[in-house]
Amino acid sequence: MRIRRCVTLVIEPRERIEFDLGVLLAGETGVVSRLEWVALAPHLDDEQVLADVEVAALGAISPTQWADREALAQRHSDAVLDGLLAKGLLVGEEATASDDAAARDAALRGAHWRGLSAVAHRFGRWRGIDSNEVERRFAEESDQSFAERLGPPPPHVLERAPAEQRLGLPAAADSPLEALLASRVTCRNFDRTRAVTLAEFGTCLYRAFGARAVSEIAPDIRILKKGSPSAGGLHVTEAYVLVQQVEGIAPGLYHYHPVDHALEPIEALAPDAAAYCARRFVAAQAYYAEAHVQVILASRFRRNFWKYRNHAKAYRAVILDAGHLSQTLYLAATELRLGAFITAAINEVDIEQAFGLEPMEEGPLAVCGFGPRAAQRTTIELDPLGAMWPGGTG
């Protein structure tokens, strides 16, 4: 049998603070500091705690060259090799159907990820997080206010020169674009007494995600023209849609086809199941779960990294895509007098499972949404211009 190390691995020296009753009874504080090595490998779902001998072995085994198991056993014990194979940090050349780690490692190699970006993406994902519960625990830990606990924030404006040295610029002229930008307010109050019309739904999806043109720049290499920029014209970020309340569209999970301007059904859902998904996707942020439509921005990493292979800026460009697309969706919704939002506080793993996504191939980066804005504000919205709610921010 020949084996090698997984393609991408970060080992973090980590301190874990624990309470030990035995230490307390011995007359100490009871607080114990434990140092450990933690392996972060992006082809695996979970972190792996390592022994010193396992760290040493991983540092001595190639991630590219296959080595004979018997030869490696002369330098590292069978127990160490077996343990690392079981943890998925070593993989065998002759992977079996049950050897999921080897298959995932092979897929990651073929996707051309930059190592640190792959680790950041895999281990920055959430599953089952309830943001309301997190806030409740935060409040119970201390009677201090949010600002008292965190201290004063950095200045709201960065100033690099004295006021008298600043060069004033002409004010922007009034225009439809200026009015639209001034009206763009993140919505947390949606009106569920009416549905999004089919025309509104189609307009928002097309303006934010639809392809205006397809260009073949070389044989079998096509790029898209959309309403937002994208690195290399690749437009790797897909729109997966959760419909809750749209005229003529049944509640459920869909994929938006940007060239045909059409929905591809993935799974039909009863209204209560759609509501459950909506809440789960946005980590129980109730005001966003009320949106009539949620759009999951999920990037096809293999398409981006096909061109930008193991590139230090490739993952950053993918994240920028999400920002561009969300702003375009905001403006499309605002023009139709609909409310819109974007949040990065999402349960990526739950979304991946719902839509059948493999996280290192196609992963959610954010969730957007839109729908009719409520006539009354029950949840605070940041609206300093009073564009939607006369009277200011609250």
pLDDT of residue 204: 98
- The SS3 call for residue 138 is helix
Q: How far apart are CA 111 and CA 38, in angstroms?
A: 24
User: What was the pLDDT predicted at 26?
Assistant: 73
3-state secondary structure the chain: CEEEECCCCEEEEEEEEEECHHHHHCCCCCEEEEEEEEEECCCCCCCEEECHHHHHHHHHCCCCCCEEHHHHHCCCCHHHHHHHHHHCCEEECCCCCCCHHHHHHHHHHHHCCCHHHHHHHHHCCCCCCCHHHHHHHHHHCCCCCHHHHHCCCCCCCCCCCCHHHCCCCCCCCCCHHHHHHHHCCECCCECCCCCECHHHHHHHHHHHHCCCEEEEEECCEEEEECCCCCHHHCCCEEEEEEECCECCECCEEEEEECCCCEEEEEEECCHHHHHHHHHHHCCCCHHHHCCCEEEEEEEEHHHHHHHCCCCCCHHHHHHHHHHHHHHHHHHHHHHCCEEEEEECCCCHHHHHHHHCCCCCCEEEEEEEEEEEECCCCCCCCCCCCCCCCCCCCC
Token output for 186: 């993140």
- Domain 175-372 part of CATH 3.90.1150.10: no
> What are the extents of the domains in the chain?
2-111, 175-372
- pLDDT confidence of residue 311: 95
Sign of CA dihedral 134, 140, 144, 149: negative
Q: Cα–Cα distances in Å, from 199 out to 77, 189, 206, 238?
A: 66, 21, 11, 21
Confidence at residue 247, expressed as pLDDT on a 0 to 100 scale: 98
Average pLDDT by stretches of 10, the chain with 394 residues: 96 86 72 90 96 97 96 95 96 75 94 96 96 81 80 90 95 95 96 97 98 92 94 95 98 98 98 98 97 98 95 96 97 98 98 97 97 95 90 58
Supply 273's token pair. Answer: 């199941």
| Residue where the block lists tokens 């973090």 | 12
Nearest-5° angle of CA 352, CA 254, CA 106?
35
Per-residue model confidence (pLDDT) at position 23: 64
Paired residues of 298 in beta bridges: 238, 364
